[in-house]
Amino acid sequence: MVENKEEVPFSVLDGGRMIIRTPFLALFLLHGLRDVRAVMSFRGGSPSKEQGPRSVYRFSLPDGEGEKVFFLKRHHHSPLRQQIREFLRYGSFLSGGRREWENIWKIRQVGIPTIEPVGFGERKEWGGWELESFLISLELEEACRLTEFIPKHLSPPLDPSLLSRKRQLLGELALLARRMHQAGLFHRDFYLGHMFIKDRREGEMELYLMDLQRVFRPRWRKERWRIKDLASLNFSAPPGWFTATDRLRFYKQYRGISRLEDRDRSPIRRITRKSQRIWAHTRRLWERGKIQKIPWGFENGAV
C-alpha cells in the first residue's frame, strides 16, 4: 500500500509498478514516461550525482506554460547484501524508490519541510528482490544547500547582525532535529549537506530536509540513533565555522533547556566521541580514494 498521508491524488501505472501524482500524469504521458522501463531508460537532463548503482539527474519537461524542472533518482540493481540488511532492519523488501517516497510523506506529516514528491516506480523479481526503482521530485526553487549558504553568507568574522542570523539558523536546526526525533524518526545521514535553506528577505529562514532514503522509525535502541544523528550533524559543522559556544547553544535549544543538567554530560560525551569516529572514518576513505573530496570545511583537517 502506498503511504500518502496528505491524501494527494495519485495515479497507478504499469500494472501497479509506478505511481504518479495525478496533476503531473498528463505531462509524463505526453513525454512517453508511462512505465518503469521508460523512466529508467530516460536520457534527458544532466547528471547531478552518480554513486555506484544510484544516480540523480535534473531534467525539465515543457508543459505549455513554460517548463517544470524535476529530479530523477534511479536505483540500478541494488546489491543483494544491502537488500538483505534492509530487510532485517525493516522486515520487508522495500525498493529504494518506494522507501524514499514513503519517508517523504512521514517527514511532511510531522511538519518538516522537504522535497515535493511527484512519483516513484519499481521492478522486482519473484520474492520481492529489487531489480530497479526510481523517485521523481520537483526542483526546490530559490533554495540553497546549507554547505553553500554558510560560507557565502555567514563567513567569520561576524558583525552583530550576521551573528544574530547565525543564531537564528542554529535555532532552526535545533527545532528541525527535535521535531524529527520526537516523532521517533531518525535520518541516519543527518549532515548539513543534506539540508537546504530558503532565506527570505523579511528575515525568515526555512530549512528543508533532503535525502530521506535511509530515514526510519526504530522499535528499539532509539538513543543510539539519536546520538548518531546528532554526531553526524556535529561532525558536518566544521570548527572554523562553528564554535564550541555555537554547539552548546544548538544542544540546549534541541533539548529545550536554558542550562545544562547532569544528565546531559553523558550524551554530549557520546556525541563528541562519535563525531571524532566519523571524521576518522571519513579521512580514511578519502586517503584510500573511496570518496572524491574531503567534506566542506575540513580541508585543513581536525574535528
pLDDT digits (tens, 9 = 90+) for 173-184: 999 999 999 999
Count of the separate structural domains present in the chain? 2
Residues 55 and 100 in one domain: yes
User: What pLDDT is attached to residue 1?
Assistant: 41
User: What pLDDT is attached to residue 158?
Assistant: 94
Q: Given a cut of 80, is residue 31 above it in pLDDT?
A: yes
Residues 158 and 213 in one domain: yes
Predicted confidence band of residue 16 (pLDDT cuts 50, 70, 90): very high
From 102, 123, 138, give the residue that closes a domain: 138
The answer to whether residue 190 sits within a structural domain is yes
The answer to whether residue 302 sits within a structural domain is no
Task: Give the C-alpha distances (Å, rounded to integers) separating 33 from 22, 30, 130, 279.
Answer: 14, 8, 20, 42
From 95, 110, 138, give the residue that closes a domain: 138
Contacts for 284 with CB less than 8 Å, ≥ 6 apart: none
C-beta atoms surrounding 70 within 10 Å: 22
Here the CATH number for the domain that contains residue 268 is 1.10.510.10
Residues 101 and 174 in one domain: no
Q: Residue 121: phi, psi to the nearest 5?
A: -155, 160
HEC-encoded secondary structure of 2-32: CCCCCCCCEEEEHHHCEEEEHHHHHHHHHCC
Listed residue (91, 96, 101) closest to 123, CA to CA: 96
Q: Which residues pair with 51 in a beta bridge?
A: 54
Residues 129 and 154 in one domain: no
Q: Report the helix count and the strand count for the chain, using DSSP H and E.
A: 9, 10
Question: Quick one: average pLDDT of 147-176?
Answer: 95
Residues 181 and 159 in one domain: yes
Residues 76 and 18 in one domain: yes
- DSSP letters for 109-177: HTT-----EEEEEEEE-TTS-EEEEEEEEE--TT-EEHHHHHHHH-PSS--HHHHHHHHHHHHHHHHHH
Q: Given a cut of 60, is residue 98 above it in pLDDT?
A: yes
Q: Which three three-digit cell numbers place residue 101? A: 517516497
Q: What is the rounded average pLDDT for all residues in the chain?
A: 90
The answer to whether residue 1 sits within a structural domain is no
Give the up-direction half-sphere exposure of residue 4: CA atoms within 13 A in the CB hemisphere.
16
Listed residue (283, 154, 279, 174) closest to 230, CA to CA: 174
The answer to whether residue 88 sits within a structural domain is yes
Residues 162 and 86 in one domain: no
The answer to whether residue 183 sits within a structural domain is yes
Residues 18 and 126 in one domain: yes
- Percent of the residues in the chain that have a pLDDT greater than 70, as a whole number: 89
The answer to whether residue 281 sits within a structural domain is yes
pTM across the whole model = 0.90
From 138, 168, 202, give the residue that closes a domain: 138
Over residues 180-208, the pLDDT tens digits come to: 999 999 999 999 999 999 987 677 899 99
**Which residue segment(s) compose the domain that 124 sits in?**
10-138
Radius of gyration of the chain (CA): 20
Residues 115 and 193 in one domain: no
User: What pLDDT is attached to residue 91?
Assistant: 61
Buried b (16+ CB within 10 A) or exposed e, 97-116: bbbbbbbbbbbbeeebbbbe
Residues 130 and 155 in one domain: no
Residues 153 and 189 in one domain: yes
Q: Which three three-digit cell numbers place residue 210? A: 533532503
Q: Which residue has the higher pLDDT, 240 or 297?
A: 240
Q: Which three three-digit cell numbers place residue 235? A: 561532525
The answer to whether residue 278 sits within a structural domain is yes
Residues 108 and 216 in one domain: no
The answer to whether residue 297 sits within a structural domain is no
